[in-house]
Amino acid sequence: MAEYLVVSAVAGEARYAPEGIPVVVTGVGKTAAAVATARALGERDTTDLVVLNVGTTGALRHGMVGLYLPSQVINHDINADAVRALGLDPRETLQVEGGDGTVLASGDVFVTDPVIRARLAERAHLVDMEAYGVVYACQQYGVPVRVVKHVSDSADESALDWPALVDASAKVLGEWVTAYVS
Protein backbone atom coordinates (compact mmCIF):
# COMPACT_ATOMS: atom_id res chain seq x y z
CA MET A 1 0.00 0.00 0.00
CA ALA A 2 1.39 3.37 -1.03
CA GLU A 3 2.29 6.09 1.41
CA TYR A 4 2.20 9.72 0.35
CA LEU A 5 4.19 12.85 0.98
CA VAL A 6 2.81 16.22 -0.12
CA VAL A 7 5.51 18.69 -1.16
CA SER A 8 4.63 22.37 -1.71
CA ALA A 9 6.58 25.61 -1.93
CA VAL A 10 4.50 27.43 0.68
CA ALA A 11 2.18 26.24 3.43
CA GLY A 12 -0.83 27.93 1.83
CA GLU A 13 -0.65 25.66 -1.23
CA ALA A 14 -0.98 22.54 0.96
CA ARG A 15 -3.47 24.05 3.44
CA TYR A 16 -6.22 21.58 2.47
CA ALA A 17 -4.13 18.40 2.29
CA PRO A 18 -5.94 15.59 4.10
CA GLU A 19 -5.21 14.87 7.76
CA GLY A 20 -2.54 12.23 8.24
CA ILE A 21 -0.63 12.97 5.02
CA PRO A 22 2.76 14.50 5.87
CA VAL A 23 3.50 17.85 4.21
CA VAL A 24 6.92 19.30 3.39
CA VAL A 25 7.09 23.05 2.75
CA THR A 26 10.19 23.69 0.65
CA GLY A 27 10.35 27.44 0.27
CA VAL A 28 10.54 29.26 -3.05
CA GLY A 29 12.78 28.26 -5.95
CA LYS A 30 14.36 25.15 -7.44
CA THR A 31 17.29 24.95 -5.02
CA ALA A 32 15.15 25.22 -1.88
CA ALA A 33 12.72 22.68 -3.36
CA ALA A 34 15.44 20.17 -4.24
CA VAL A 35 17.18 20.44 -0.86
CA ALA A 36 13.98 20.20 1.21
CA THR A 37 12.69 17.28 -0.86
CA ALA A 38 16.01 15.42 -0.66
CA ARG A 39 16.19 16.00 3.09
CA ALA A 40 12.63 14.68 3.54
CA LEU A 41 13.36 11.60 1.41
CA GLY A 42 16.61 10.92 3.23
CA GLU A 43 14.82 10.93 6.59
CA ARG A 44 12.22 8.24 5.80
CA ASP A 45 11.69 4.82 4.33
CA THR A 46 10.87 5.45 0.68
CA THR A 47 9.93 1.86 -0.21
CA ASP A 48 6.23 2.54 -0.89
CA LEU A 49 6.38 6.34 -0.99
CA VAL A 50 4.82 8.52 -3.67
CA VAL A 51 5.57 12.26 -3.61
CA LEU A 52 2.75 14.59 -4.61
CA ASN A 53 4.18 17.95 -5.63
CA VAL A 54 1.12 20.19 -5.34
CA GLY A 55 1.10 23.90 -5.99
CA THR A 56 0.06 26.86 -8.04
CA THR A 57 1.19 27.58 -11.56
CA GLY A 58 1.06 30.37 -14.09
CA ALA A 59 -0.57 29.69 -17.46
CA LEU A 60 1.73 30.53 -20.36
CA ARG A 61 -0.96 30.07 -23.00
CA HIS A 62 -4.36 31.70 -23.36
CA GLY A 63 -7.34 29.76 -22.06
CA MET A 64 -5.46 27.43 -19.72
CA VAL A 65 -7.34 27.19 -16.43
CA GLY A 66 -7.86 24.54 -13.79
CA LEU A 67 -5.80 21.55 -12.72
CA TYR A 68 -2.92 19.94 -14.65
CA LEU A 69 -0.60 16.97 -14.13
CA PRO A 70 2.47 17.80 -16.23
CA SER A 71 4.32 15.01 -18.04
CA GLN A 72 7.51 17.02 -18.48
CA VAL A 73 9.28 19.58 -16.35
CA ILE A 74 11.81 21.88 -18.01
CA ASN A 75 14.51 23.80 -16.14
CA HIS A 76 13.91 27.00 -18.11
CA ASP A 77 16.59 29.25 -16.68
CA ILE A 78 19.67 27.16 -17.42
CA ASN A 79 21.76 27.79 -20.52
CA ALA A 80 21.45 24.17 -21.62
CA ASP A 81 23.04 24.67 -25.05
CA ALA A 82 26.19 26.15 -23.50
CA VAL A 83 26.39 23.31 -20.97
CA ARG A 84 26.00 20.77 -23.80
CA ALA A 85 28.74 22.57 -25.76
CA LEU A 86 31.05 21.81 -22.83
CA GLY A 87 30.29 18.12 -23.29
CA LEU A 88 28.01 17.87 -20.26
CA ASP A 89 24.37 16.84 -19.96
CA PRO A 90 22.31 19.67 -18.38
CA ARG A 91 19.26 17.39 -17.91
CA GLU A 92 17.04 20.39 -18.55
CA THR A 93 13.99 18.20 -19.26
CA LEU A 94 12.69 15.61 -16.82
CA GLN A 95 9.88 13.17 -17.63
CA VAL A 96 7.09 12.67 -15.08
CA GLU A 97 5.10 9.42 -15.16
CA GLY A 98 1.32 9.57 -15.20
CA GLY A 99 1.04 13.10 -16.54
CA ASP A 100 -1.55 14.58 -18.84
CA GLY A 101 0.84 15.69 -21.60
CA THR A 102 1.35 19.26 -20.42
CA VAL A 103 4.83 20.73 -20.12
CA LEU A 104 5.79 22.79 -17.07
CA ALA A 105 8.65 25.30 -17.28
CA SER A 106 10.26 25.55 -13.85
CA GLY A 107 12.77 28.20 -12.86
CA ASP A 108 13.83 30.76 -10.33
CA VAL A 109 12.27 33.63 -12.29
CA PHE A 110 8.86 34.78 -11.05
CA VAL A 111 7.34 35.38 -14.48
CA THR A 112 5.40 38.62 -14.94
CA ASP A 113 7.15 39.96 -18.05
CA PRO A 114 5.19 39.41 -21.32
CA VAL A 115 8.41 38.88 -23.32
CA ILE A 116 9.62 36.11 -20.98
CA ARG A 117 6.12 34.63 -20.92
CA ALA A 118 5.94 34.51 -24.73
CA ARG A 119 9.40 32.91 -24.97
CA LEU A 120 8.48 30.24 -22.41
CA ALA A 121 5.11 29.58 -24.11
CA GLU A 122 7.01 28.33 -27.17
CA ARG A 123 8.26 25.36 -25.09
CA ALA A 124 5.76 24.93 -22.27
CA HIS A 125 2.14 25.32 -21.19
CA LEU A 126 2.69 26.30 -17.55
CA VAL A 127 5.35 27.88 -15.32
CA ASP A 128 6.34 27.49 -11.67
CA MET A 129 9.44 27.85 -9.51
CA GLU A 130 9.86 24.49 -7.72
CA ALA A 131 8.68 21.42 -9.65
CA TYR A 132 12.01 20.80 -11.41
CA GLY A 133 13.84 20.65 -8.06
CA VAL A 134 11.23 18.33 -6.53
CA VAL A 135 11.20 15.97 -9.54
CA TYR A 136 15.00 15.96 -9.74
CA ALA A 137 15.35 15.02 -6.07
CA CYS A 138 12.69 12.30 -6.34
CA GLN A 139 14.38 10.80 -9.41
CA GLN A 140 17.73 10.78 -7.62
CA TYR A 141 16.13 8.80 -4.77
CA GLY A 142 14.12 6.53 -7.11
CA VAL A 143 10.84 7.74 -5.63
CA PRO A 144 7.75 8.13 -7.85
CA VAL A 145 6.43 11.68 -8.09
CA ARG A 146 3.24 13.25 -9.41
CA VAL A 147 3.25 16.95 -10.23
CA VAL A 148 -0.18 18.51 -9.64
CA LYS A 149 -0.57 22.19 -10.46
CA HIS A 150 -3.55 24.53 -10.38
CA VAL A 151 -3.52 27.67 -12.52
CA SER A 152 -3.58 30.71 -10.25
CA ASP A 153 -2.66 33.38 -12.80
CA SER A 154 -1.55 34.04 -16.37
CA ALA A 155 2.17 34.57 -15.66
CA ASP A 156 1.78 38.28 -16.40
CA GLU A 157 1.15 41.32 -14.23
CA SER A 158 -1.81 39.44 -12.70
CA ALA A 159 0.75 37.13 -11.05
CA LEU A 160 1.48 39.90 -8.58
CA ASP A 161 -1.97 39.14 -7.09
CA TRP A 162 -0.75 35.60 -6.31
CA PRO A 163 -1.05 35.92 -2.50
CA ALA A 164 -4.77 36.61 -2.85
CA LEU A 165 -5.26 33.72 -5.30
CA VAL A 166 -3.45 30.91 -3.47
CA ASP A 167 -6.34 29.80 -1.25
CA ALA A 168 -8.71 29.12 -4.16
CA SER A 169 -6.04 26.98 -5.82
CA ALA A 170 -5.22 25.23 -2.54
CA LYS A 171 -8.83 24.10 -2.16
CA VAL A 172 -8.80 22.46 -5.60
CA LEU A 173 -5.40 20.89 -4.90
CA GLY A 174 -6.61 19.55 -1.55
CA GLU A 175 -9.66 18.00 -3.21
CA TRP A 176 -7.41 16.32 -5.80
CA VAL A 177 -5.06 14.92 -3.13
CA THR A 178 -8.01 13.66 -1.06
CA ALA A 179 -9.49 11.84 -4.07
CA TYR A 180 -6.10 10.47 -5.18
CA VAL A 181 -5.10 8.97 -1.83
CA SER A 182 -8.58 7.51 -1.11
Residues comprising the chain, all counted: 182
DSSP letter for 112, please: -
Q: What residues have CB less than 8 Å from 34, skipping those under 6 apart?
A: 133, 134, 136, 137
Q: How many CB atoms lie within 10 A of CB 179?
A: 9
Average pLDDT over residues 130-159: 93
pLDDT single digits (tens) 72-131: 999 999 999 999 999 999 999 999 999 999 999 999 988 888 899 999 999 999 999 999
- Side-chain-side CA neighbours of 16 within 13 Å: the count stands at 15
* pLDDT value at 159 more than 70: no
Q: What's the CA dihedral at 169, 121, 36, 174 to 10 degrees?
A: 20
Instruction: Determine the Cα–Cα distance for residues 97 and 177; give it in Å rounded to an integer.
Output: 17
